[in-house]
């Protein structure tokens, strides 16, 4: 079972860059159904081909076609996110770009240390409806997400801070993660809970290391010279992952109580997304431990914070929320679904399933949909990391493929927006740090 999980993990992370296990060494027989891993890979590649054909078929017939981009001048950093204001202006956040498309093994190692980025000013930019820069203001933190309030003011979150700007760009307020006030005030209780979770994580990590070590022994039981190309590749990769997990486990074991608590506080303070309704602000945060996400609700002046949704499953640090009526639409990408919740976090509806071969019947890839937004008619648009944008009714009924942005596929933020008139569709190209504009054909 573990070997199958490892295989699936590598395939999702590396397929498309290298065909790892499809071909054996020169002169050796072609892989057959007797090799279960090769069979899984063959099925995966067939589904990928069918998905690509389905996507291509929809692209040419889609009503929105890409024709423009919104980007910053060279040397001013990259766009990191955007939103569309009620009157059609586009607001973008910018700073140093981020690297995407790394192999899973590289990602694991990168978790062990912070990456350095170039010194680029963090800013909020306002563009008119034609994409022309109007003004910008500097931020004292690196932004991660931006969203608009009904009055066209904007809220920006990142590095544990939330800032509020009026429609003219004037800073109205900035505050450290307001949802953490109670945890900080009751730090001893928080510390006890975090240590319990930490001990559980250490035990779980030890189990993973033991399982990986056992999987490695299974491969080593066969003499190296008798291993096929796929077995040699699997051996090298399993050995690399085991080393990374062992290093992470040892790092966890060395943490003191104080370090565990401080790390948990820092994790929980981080704000990933923000959405603003007529009555409330909603933010997405990390769970203090593990890899889940939570949604908190608070007033427009950052008071009365309350956790309303817990343990959301999102891939690669991505968990999008958007206001839908008085509640929220949540793109829970790792579960291939959209959750609609009320302002108290109670699920009112959910829809979506995984479908790798027909883009009209479900969400493809390992983790989609990535982002959502409402259109002028009150329908929900969803975006997938391969550029695909779909339209659904709020009850989950599929309406249409609207367009396909030209981006490199990969698990990532794929923010979308639409103009108030419904004639311009915006898609965030995170890898190039720009906004792609798809115009509706007449």
Q: Per the structure block, which two tokens stand in for 101?
A: 């498309």
What integer pLDDT is reported at residue 271 of this predicted model?
95
Q: Per the structure block, which two tokens stand in for 189?
A: 């209780």
CA dihedral angle for residue 400, residue 401, residue 403, residue 409, rounded to 10 degrees: 150
d(CA 307, CA 178): 12
d(CA 181, CA 299): 14
Please state the φ and ψ torsions of residue 218, each to the nearest 5 degrees.
-60, -40
d(CA 126, CA 84): 10
What integer pLDDT is reported at residue 10 of this predicted model?
43
**Residue 101, pLDDT above cutoff 80:** no
d(CA 275, CA 169): 18
Could you tell me the residue ranges of all domains in the chain? Answer: 1-61, 64-177+270-440, 181-269
CA–centroid distance for 146 within its chain: 15
What is the distance between the terminal CA atoms of the chain, rounded to a whole angstrom? Answer: 53
Question: Confidence band (pLDDT; 50, 70, 90) for 23?
Answer: very low
- Quick one: angle between helices 2-14 and 187-220, nearest 10? 100
Q: Is the dihedral of CA 28, 33, 36, 39 positive or negative?
A: positive
What integer pLDDT is reported at residue 421 of this predicted model?
95
What integer pLDDT is reported at residue 423 of this predicted model?
96
Q: What are the pLDDT digits (tens) for 51-84?
A: 777 677 767 789 999 999 999 999 899 999 999 9
For residue 147, which of 222, 90, 209 has the smallest C-alpha distance? 90
Helix (H, G, I), strand (E, B) or coil at 47: helix
Question: Confidence band (pLDDT; 50, 70, 90) for 385?
Answer: very high
What integer pLDDT is reported at residue 19 of this predicted model?
33
**In 10 A of CB 120, how many CB atoms?**
16
Contacts of 112 (CB under 8 A, 6+ apart): 244, 247, 248, 251
Distances (CA, A) of 103 to 16, 36, 115, 286, 292: 11, 23, 16, 23, 22
d(CA 231, CA 407): 33
Which residues partner with 138 through β-bridges? 123
pTM for the model:
0.80
d(CA 21, CA 236): 13
Which residues partner with 400 through β-bridges? 391
Q: Of 402 and 54, which is predicted with more confidence? A: 402
Helix (H, G, I), strand (E, B) or coil at 301: coil
CATH number assigned to the domain with residue range 64-177+270-440, chosen from the 4 options 3.40.50.170, 2.10.109.10, 3.40.1280.10, 2.120.10.30: 2.120.10.30
What single DSSP character describes residue 185?
H
Contacts of 280 (CB under 8 A, 6+ apart): 297, 298, 299, 300, 343
> What is the number of residues in the chain?
442
Least confident window among 116-130, 159-173, 293-307, 337-351: 116-130
């Amino acid at each position: 079972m573990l070997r199958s999980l490892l295989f699936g993990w590598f395939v999702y992370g590396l397929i498309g860059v290298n065909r790892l296990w499809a071909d054996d060494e020169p002169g050796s027989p072609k892989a057959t159904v007797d090799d279960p891993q090769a069979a899984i890979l063959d099925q995966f590649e067939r589904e990928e081909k069918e998905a690509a054909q389905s996507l291509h078929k929809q692209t040419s017939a889609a009503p929105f076609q890409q024709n423009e981009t919104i980007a910053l001048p060279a040397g001013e950093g990259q766009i990191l996110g955007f939103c569309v204001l009620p009157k059609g202006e586009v607001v973008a956040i910018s700073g140093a770009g981020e690297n995407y498309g790394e192999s899973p093994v590289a990602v694991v190692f990168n978790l062990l240390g912070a990456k350095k980025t170039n010194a680029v000013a963090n800013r909020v930019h306002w563009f008119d409806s034609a994409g022309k820069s109007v003004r910008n203001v500097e931020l004292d933190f690196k932004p991660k997400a931006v969203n608009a309030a009904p009055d066209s003011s904007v809220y920006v979150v990142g590095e544990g801070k939330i800032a509020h700007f009026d429609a003219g760009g004037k800073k109205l307020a900035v505050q450290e993660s307001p949802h953490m006030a109670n945890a900080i005030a009751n730090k001893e209780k928080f510390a006890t809970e975090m240590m319990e979770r930490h001990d559980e994580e250490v035990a779980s990590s030890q189990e993973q290391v033991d399982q990986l070590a056992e999987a490695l022994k299974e491969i080593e039981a066969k003499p190296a010279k008798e291993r096929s190309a796929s077995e040699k590749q699997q051996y090298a990769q399993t050995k690399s992952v085991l080393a990374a997990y062992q290093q992470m486990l040892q790092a966890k074991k060395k943490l003191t109580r104080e370090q565990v608590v401080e790390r948990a506080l820092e994790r929980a303070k981080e704000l990933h997304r923000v959405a603003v309704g007529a009555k409330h602000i909603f933010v997405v945060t990390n769970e203090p431990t593990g890899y889940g996400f939570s949604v908190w609700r608070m007033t427009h002046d950052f008071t009365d914070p309350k956790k309303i949704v817990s343990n959301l499953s999102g891939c690669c640090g991505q968990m999008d929320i958007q206001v839908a009526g008085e509640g929220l639409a949540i793109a829970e990408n790792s579960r291939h679904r959209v959750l609609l919740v009320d302002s108290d976090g109670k699920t009112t509806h959910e829809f979506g399933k995984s479908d790798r071969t027909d883009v009209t019947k479900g969400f493809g890839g390992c983790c989609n949909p990535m982002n959502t937004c409402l259109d002028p008619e009150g329908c929900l648009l969803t975006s997938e990391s391969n550029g695909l944008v779909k339209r659904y009714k709020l009850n989950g009924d599929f309406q249409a493929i609207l367009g396909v942005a030209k981006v490199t596929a990969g698990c990532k933020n794929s923010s979308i927006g639409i103009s108030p008139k419904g004639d311009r569709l915006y898609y965030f190209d995170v890898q190039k740090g720009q906004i792609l504009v798809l115009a509706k054909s007449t």
